Amino acid sequence: MPMLHTVNKSPFERRTLDTALRHAVKGSGVLLIEDAVYAAFEGTVVAEKVRAALGDLKIYVLGPDIAARGMSEKQVIDGLEVVDYGGFVDLVTEYDKVQSWL
Amino acid sequence: MSEPWEDDELDGPVRKFMYVNRRAPYGTIYALESLEVVLIAAAFEQDVSLVFMDDGVYQIKKGQNTEAIGVKNFSPTYRALEGYDVEKLYVEKESLESRGLTADDLVVPVQVVDRNQLAELMEEQEVILSF
Amino acid sequence: MKLSILVNEGPYQHQSADSAIQFTKAALAKGHEIFRVFFYHDGVNNGTRFAVPPQDDRNITEEWTKLAKENDLDLVICIAAAQRRGILDENEAKRQGKDGDNIAEGFRISGLGQLIEAGIQSDRLVIFGD
């Protein structure tokens, strides 16, 4: 498998998610952690962009960071996969390498 | 470079390392400490690539003069990288253009690559450190 | 699998210090080997035993010390970054003429080469930072 990209910035404050999405080749995975989980929900101005990216990429979001922020997994955009820390570890090992976009 | 803690070279496989610089100098310490990693890494004789993208392109902007902010200007060090056999320097075209810069504005000769070429280069790596 | 972790931010200031611990715990629980945890930039501040967080808060440094003890982890603080930020072990304190050290149990101070070695020796390097 190609690369797993991790992103930890809110898409409303920083452009890191855009950058990661633009540099992720088809078949890559993108994992949203920490403040980047705010990109994962329906009804925001970035939801359409995230949905569009699902055509070429797998997008995951860290459940513990969703819960910590009072957000609801029910509102997560269809097609995104919610994982816990164990799932985070699995993704790191399943993809060939990891790029942490800081 | 002969401090006692810096002699920990080792024999092993050569891996493809890419250092991705995405932040401007001086505003935060990341650019300087990233450069320090690259200088040490050179001693390990790995296959090293250096990327400047997003605000990272400002790290190698010509004409930096830090006298009045009281911080050391470390931009000349990028010119020394060649002496460390770090010769693969890539700059992302879109990052340069969106900042109104060209390769002539940079302190070192670089290879300008577009976003798609850079994405492919990243896929070829084994270890990616993004600062 | 053999994993290494790079921690680039200090404790409490940025969640990445916590994320690194949670990830390390999960990786160990899944039976992976942690080759090394390397602390760089303000991440070196995770290794001072002088921090006293409020009692009802987590103690990140103690968590690392405990994890290291239980799992024989190699927690390495970058010497160059540590010198800038005043993190010292006994040898460094002596070498720099300082009147004490503050490194926490389970951590050691060494060069950036240890990070490069982790990149060479590990199957994956995962970075937590700002």
B10: which chain C residues are within 8 Å (Cβ-Cβ)? 117, 120
Whole-number average pLDDT of chain B: 92
Name the pLDDT band for B2 (thresholds 50, 70, 90): very low
Contact: C3, A92; criterion CB under 8 Å: yes
Beta strands in B55-122 (DSSP E): 88-92, 111-113
> What is the number of other CB atoms lying within 10 angstroms of the CB of residue A82?
17
Contact A83, A60 (CB under 8 A): yes
Residues 43-102 of A with CB under 8 A from C: 64, 84-86, 88-90, 92-93, 97-98, 100, 102
Q: What share of chain A is helix, strand, coil (3-state, %, to 5)?
A: 40, 25, 35
Owner of token pair 């920083």: A14
Residues A23-68 have pLDDT tens digits of: 999 999 999 999 999 999 999 999 999 999 999 999 999 999 999 9
Q: What is the pLDDT of residues B67-94, one digit of tens each?
A: 999 999 999 999 999 999 999 999 999 9
Q: Given a cut of 60, is residue B44 above it in pLDDT?
A: yes
Domain boundaries, chain B: 18-130
Phi, psi of C31 (to 5 degrees): 85, 15
What are the CA-CA distances from residue B16 to residues B32, B77, B81, B121 (Å)?
22, 22, 17, 10
Q: Rounded to two decimals, what is the model's pTM?
A: 0.95
Query: What CATH number should be reported for the domain whose range is B18-130?
Result: 3.40.1260.10
What does the DSSP 8-state code read for residue C74? -
pLDDT value for B10: 53
- Give percent of chain B with pLDDT exceeding 90: 86
Rounded to whole angstroms, what are the CA distances from B86 to A29, B14, B42, B51, B115?
Answer: 30, 14, 7, 12, 22
| C51 a catalytic residue | no
Domain with residue C43: its CATH number is: 3.40.1260.10
Which of A99, A100, A101 is the best substitution to test chain B (most B C-beta atoms within 10 A)? A99
Report the residue from A64, A88, A100 with minimal CB separation from C127.
Answer: A100
In this prediction, the residues of chain C whose per-residue pLDDT falls under 70 are none
Q: Which chains touch B (3 or more CB pairs under 8 A)?
A: A, C
Residue B3: pLDDT above 60? no
* Average confidence (pLDDT) over A17-28: 97
Write out the DSSP string of A44-91.
STTHHHHHHHTTT-EEEEEHHHHHHTT--GGGBPTT-EEE-HHHHHHH
The number of distinct structural domains making up chain A is 1
Q: What is residue B87's three-state secondary structure?
A: coil
> Is it the case that residue B12 has pLDDT exceeding 70?
no
Range of the domain at C119: 2-128
Q: Which domain holds residue A86?
A: 3-101
Q: What is the mean pLDDT of residues A72-76?
A: 97
A-B contacts at Cβ under 8 angstroms: 34
Q: What is the pLDDT of residue B4?
A: 45
pLDDT at B6: 47
Name the domain count of chain C: 1
SS3 sequence of C38-55: EECHHHHHHHECCCCCCC
CA atoms within 13 A on the CB side of B55: 13
Among B10, B34, B126, B129, the strongest candidate for a mutation testing the C interface, having the largest count of C CBs within 10 A, is B129
List the CATH number of the domain containing A7.
3.40.1260.10
| Structure confidence at residue B13 (pLDDT) | 73
Is residue A1 very low, low, confident or very high in pLDDT (cuts 50, 70, 90)?
A: confident
Is-contact C35 C64, C-beta < 8 A?
A: no
